[in-house]
């Protein structure tokens, strides 16, 4: 379990300000959903938290550790405490089984434990019949289940999800949401999920944040954001009235 605290984070790409002065606290064991129109900085925020790129200014704290400025082994150690799943699943040109084993192998987990863990997550994500298939030949929903299994099997303290169920059918959505909820309830995994799907945010999130043009406009419980938002921009977005 870990808390993620984002402090005054800004990310600029030349003229474009993708994230602007965002401060956010995702508590230990919380599922936090980030909603907002396209191009408002949700993915950028997730990439910076996962240390895939540096912020222009600001800092991310994992518990009390400032992680953006870490170097070398300390940086690697922080990255290993997190797991990220992207909208377009990233899988290796290997079997489903090998894909799921990978993270445990590089962590030097004993073989007997690897076998038990991999079976557990193959089952949880409905992948037992696919274990020997090449992951590159799977459907989008199947590949996304592999990507999530590969991340969850490493028991990340912080799970970052970038629209993990976009364009998936309801059965895949349910399997994936159930696995996220299971990790959160059983292991206290802290989850930050970017989603366009407001129903998904309502179903799984303890709190929701609304981003617009790089800024975090409002945060609150799902019922507050969807039923009693404070900011008129949040209200017009959740009512589907915002014109992009």
Binding test (CB under 6 A) with ligand ATP, winner from 2, 32, 41, 176: 41
Report the nearest approach of ligand ATP to the CB of residue 108 (Å): 34
Q: Which two tokens stand for residue 117?
A: 């863990």
* Separation between Cα atoms, residue 182 and residue 175, nearest integer Å: 10
Residues 6+ apart with CB under 8 A from 199: none
Binding test (CB under 6 A) with ligand ATP, winner from 13, 23, 88, 113: 13
By beta-carbon proximity to ligand ATP, the closer residue of 17 and 95 is: 17
Find, among 103, 109, 105, 143, the residue nearest to 127 by Cα: 143
Roughly what angle, to the nearest 10 degrees, separates helices 170-187 and 140-152? 10
Binding test (CB under 6 A) with ligand ATP, winner from 4, 43, 104, 176: 43
Residue owning tokens 């349910």: 174
Only segment of 37-45, 58-66, 70-78, 108-116 that touches ligand ATP (CB under 6 A): 37-45
Binding test (CB under 6 A) with ligand ATP, winner from 1, 8, 23, 39: 39
By beta-carbon proximity to ligand ATP, the closer residue of 36 and 209 is: 36
Residue 13: contacted member of ligand ATP, Mg ion, none (CB under 5 to 8 Å, by partner type): ligand ATP
Only segment of 36-44, 96-104, 180-188, 225-233 that touches ligand ATP (CB under 6 A): 36-44
**Taking CB under 5 A as the criterion, which residues in 43-82 touch Mg ion?**
43
Strand ranges, E, within the chain: 4-13, 16-26, 31-35, 57-62, 65-66, 82-85, 158-162, 190-194, 207-212, 215-221
By beta-carbon proximity to ligand ATP, the closer residue of 53 and 105 is: 53
244 sits near ligand ATP (criterion: CB under 6 A):
no
| Phi, psi (rounded to 5 degrees) for 67 | -95, -25
């Amino acid at each position: 379990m870990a808390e993620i605290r984002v402090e005054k984070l800004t990310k600029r790409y030349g003229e474009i300000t993708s994230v602007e002065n965002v401060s956010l606290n995702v508590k230990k064991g919380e599922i936090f959903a980030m909603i907002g129109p396209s191009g408002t900085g949700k993915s950028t925020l997730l990439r910076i938290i996962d240390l895939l790129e540096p912020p222009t200014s600001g800092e991310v704290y994992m518990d009390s550790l400032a992680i953006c400025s870490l170097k070398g082994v300390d940086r690697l150690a922080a990255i290993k405490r997190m797991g990220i799943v992207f909208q377009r699943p990233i899988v290796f040109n290997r079997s489903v089984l090998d894909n799921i084993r990978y993270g445990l192998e590089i962590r030097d987990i004993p073989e007997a434990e690897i076998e038990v863990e991999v079976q557990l997550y193959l089952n949880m994500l409905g992948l037992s019949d696919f274990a020997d298939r090449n992951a590159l030949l799977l459907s989008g929903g199947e590949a996304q289940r592999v990507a999530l299994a590969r991340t969850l099997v490493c028991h990340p303290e912080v799970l970052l999800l970038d629209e993990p169920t976009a364009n998936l059918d309801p059965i895949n959505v349910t399997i994936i949401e159930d696995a996220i909820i299971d990790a959160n309830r059983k292991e206290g995994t802290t989850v930050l999920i970017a989603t366009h799907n407001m129903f998904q945010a309502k179903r799984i999130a303890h709190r929701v944040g609304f981003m617009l043009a790089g800024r975090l406009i409002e945060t609150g419980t799902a019922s507050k954001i969807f039923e009693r938002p404070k900011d008129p921009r949040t209200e017009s977005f959740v009512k589907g009235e915002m014109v992009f």
